[in-house]
Amino acid sequence: MSQHDRSTAQQPDAALPEGACLTAGIPDTTVSRLGAIVLNPYGIAPLTALIRDGGQTLRDARVRVLGRGEHGVDIHYPVSDKALWTHGGIPVFGLYPEHRNEVEVAYTLGGERIRERYTLYAPAVRLPAVASQQAALPQVEPVQVDAALKQRLYLFNHLLTELPGVNRQLKWNAQGGAAEWDSVGINWITDSQGEVRWYLDIERLHDSTRIDGLGASMGFQQTADGKLIWGQGQRYFKHDLLGRPVWERRLPGKFADFSHEIRQTAKGTYLLRVGSSDYRRDDGKQVRSVRDQIIELDESGEVVDFWDLGRILDPYRAQLLHTLGKAAVLLPEDVRAGDSLAANEALEGDGLPFGDVPGVGIGRNWAHVNSIAHDPVDDGIIVSARHQGVVKIGRDKQVKWILAAPQGWRAGLQDKVLTPVDAQGQPLAQDAQGRYAGGFDWSWTQHTAWLSGKGTLTVFDNGWGRDFAPTRLEGNYSRAVEYRIDEARGTVEQLWEYGKERGDDWYSPITSVVEYRADSDTQLIYSASVSYLTREKLTRPVLSEVKYGTQEVLAEYRVTSLQPGNVGYRALVIDLDRAF
């Protein structure tokens, strides 16, 4: 086995231009087997590199990026032959910014197993100019990390809502819509030491001056083939972790205004939360609908099905809307919310404008769908409509069940509301205040109603508007909660909850996620908007991994946003074994 050492010819502190080919300094005693090194080869992932194959056919490669310092975390992963041939070399992921990274690669060439070592300098993190220059990214501080979770990589999806230059004037026409809901996505990956190992150069994708360029980058998921998918306003994307685009597409013409959720189904199709670009209501008005359409696309981008929630649910149910102000949906300061949410048709007219304002009726933000899950058992979907509840809908567009407080549902939907039961299947008693025995509670203005793979449903219960109460600045709590639903009997049992006892210090009125991780048998929980209601708007999210079915925290990270308006949306685990 031969050993080859290569290092960049740059000085240790020299910043190397993004995308530039670097000539390696090769010791006289060795012969280079590979070609040039390219930093940030696809222009949007500055902490990546490509070691070109030099015109040769490589196989069976592995990469290790060595950790920095005494407690640094090594990043290592296999590279498939398919990825070697696609990129024309060895993809390098996980470089530390503003650091001379030591990278080891191994590969087979012509029957010989070869190992080489490189020194690659990656530049400092560069993000859009901000009002406060204290830090480019939120700080991620590990509080505790179980040994079994030390190799974790976490992707954080944040939204920067107070950014100079964001165009609040660019809106759809009088028909309404959600184009005015613009913010900049801040998206990065850290290791278990909280060190930045990847980030997305959002300025390559976001431009507030163009309809196709505005919108928040949201809904990041890692697909079955290891790629990343997300959406932003009028477009949606699929890239690999090196930044190579698989597709970057505009939404189909019948639809507009993506945000919050894009998910791959077990069938390989994609579910996206959008609005309608042109919707004719029963009263004849044509509007752009807001956050109330689900579309299913195939790999080529064609629409194979869609769910119009305005026809399936009740766009005039206003019980939760009474408790919510414009801050609940991150609306810009110059967008007016309705002063009254009184009675159905009384709101039609000049009193409450169409557009992305919380209010009843199609053309306003009556549903605010923020997550979708696909049930492969019956091909149905589970929708978290923040302003209504969690609903399962069949392929026939019929409601199967509703997980939400029973107040206000119209005839035909009222009997779909699930009945809370105990472990023996007996209905739970209620006290004089309407609270259920055994600690059961509905989820209020919830996020991420997802299937766990254990036959249960996990939900992040934000708790804003709990029990239809007005907003309070203290005395609140959020929960991660797991339910078991019996569709045949129309019942729901609460199996587990976490976070209630942590109170205001863990309370996230908006955003957030809980997702069961089968690889570690943990619940990944990101309480993503802690301290959002404070005057400073400097959020302090908390990322936790909790042992399944218990209160035992195996890993926890405190995230500190040093920019006003930097709000966490979600976090997820990145699996490198299937990335390349």
| Mean pLDDT (whole number) for 417-443 | 95
Alpha carbon distance 351, 239 (integer Å): 44
pLDDT of amino acid 326:
46
In terms of average pLDDT, the best of 3-12, 345-354, 438-447 is 438-447
417 and 363 together in one domain: yes
pLDDT of amino acid 184:
86
Q: Is residue 153 part of a domain?
A: yes
Q: How many residues does the chain have?
A: 580
pLDDT of amino acid 134:
52
Q: Kindly report which listed range (10-19, 268-277, 365-374, 382-391) carries the lowest average pLDDT score.
A: 10-19
Q: Is residue 130 part of a domain?
A: no
Alpha carbon distance 193, 200 (integer Å): 20
Alpha carbon distance 416, 345 (integer Å): 25
425 and 460 together in one domain: yes
How many domains, the chain?
2
Beta-sheet strands, E only, within 15-58: 21-22, 24-25, 37-39, 48-52
Q: Is residue 77 part of a domain?
A: yes
| pLDDT exceeds cutoff 90 at 491 | yes
Q: Is residue 2 part of a domain?
A: no
User: Which residue among 122, 152, 184 closes a domain?
Assistant: 122
pLDDT of amino acid 276:
95
pLDDT of amino acid 177:
58
Q: Kindly report which listed range (138-147, 197-206, 324-333) carries the lowest average pLDDT score.
A: 324-333
Phi and psi for 57 in degrees, rounded to 5?
A: -100, 110
Q: Pick the closest to residue 527 from 494, 504, 550 (CA basis).
A: 504
Q: Which band of pLDDT confidence, cut at 50, 70 and 90, is reported for residue 340?
A: very low
Alpha carbon distance 100, 72 (integer Å): 14
The average confidence (pLDDT) of the chain is 87
75 and 168 together in one domain: no
pLDDT of amino acid 210:
85
pLDDT of amino acid 15:
34
| pLDDT exceeds cutoff 80 at 400 | yes
406 and 449 together in one domain: yes
62, 105 Cβ separation under 8 angstroms? yes
500 and 414 together in one domain: yes
Q: Which band of pLDDT confidence, cut at 50, 70 and 90, is reported for residue 12?
A: very low
| Mean pLDDT (whole number) for 445-467 | 97
Burial class of residue 60, CB neighbours in 10 A (0-12, 13-18, 19+): middle
pLDDT of amino acid 2:
36
Chain centroid to Cα 173, Å, comes to: 29
3-state secondary structure of 60: strand
- Residue 579 sits at the vertex; the CA angle it makes with 576 and 580, to the nearest 5 degrees, is 115
Token pair of 179, please? 């184009």
Q: Pick the closest to residue 253 from 281, 276, 285 (CA basis).
A: 276
pLDDT of amino acid 28:
34
Q: Kindly report which listed range (18-22, 369-373, 564-568) carries the lowest average pLDDT score.
A: 18-22
| pLDDT exceeds cutoff 50 at 346 | no
370 and 414 together in one domain: yes
382, 307 Cβ separation under 8 angstroms? no
| pLDDT exceeds cutoff 50 at 21 | no
pLDDT of amino acid 319:
87
| pLDDT exceeds cutoff 80 at 173 | no
pLDDT tens for residues 86-128?
999 999 999 999 999 999 999 999 999 999 999 999 999 987 7
181 and 327 together in one domain: yes
Q: Kindly report which listed range (62-71, 354-363, 517-526) carries the lowest average pLDDT score.
A: 354-363
User: Which residue among 63, 87, 122 closes a domain?
Assistant: 122
227 and 302 together in one domain: yes
We report the CATH number of the domain holding residue 61 as: 2.60.40.3100
Q: Which band of pLDDT confidence, cut at 50, 70 and 90, is reported for residue 327?
A: very low
Q: Is residue 8 part of a domain?
A: no
We report the CATH number of the domain holding residue 217 as: 2.130.10
217 and 81 together in one domain: no
Beta-sheet strands, E only, within 240-343: 245-250, 255-256, 262-264, 270-276, 279-280, 286-287, 293-297, 303-308
Q: Which band of pLDDT confidence, cut at 50, 70 and 90, is reported for residue 23?
A: very low
Q: Is residue 241 part of a domain?
A: yes
443 and 544 together in one domain: yes
| Mean pLDDT (whole number) for 183-199 | 95
Q: Is residue 534 part of a domain?
A: yes
Q: Kindly report which listed range (1-5, 381-385, 512-516) carries the lowest average pLDDT score.
A: 1-5
User: Which residue among 122, 150, 179 closes a domain?
Assistant: 122
Q: Name the residue with higher pLDDT: 29 or 266.
A: 266
What is the model's pTM?
0.90
| pLDDT exceeds cutoff 70 at 266 | yes
96 and 147 together in one domain: no
Q: Which residues are catalytic?
A: 447
- Residue 578 sits at the vertex; the CA angle it makes with 114 and 103, to the nearest 5 degrees, is 40
Beta-sheet strands, E only, within 132-260: 139-145, 153-160, 184-191, 196-199, 217-222, 228-232, 235-239, 245-250, 255-256
158 and 87 together in one domain: no
Q: Is residue 251 part of a domain?
A: yes
Range of the domain at 219: 139-277+287-574
Sheet containing 228-232: order of strands: 217-222, 228-232, 235-239, 245-250
Chain centroid to Cα 286, Å, comes to: 31
Token pair of 517, please? 């991780």
| Mean pLDDT (whole number) for 359-378 | 94
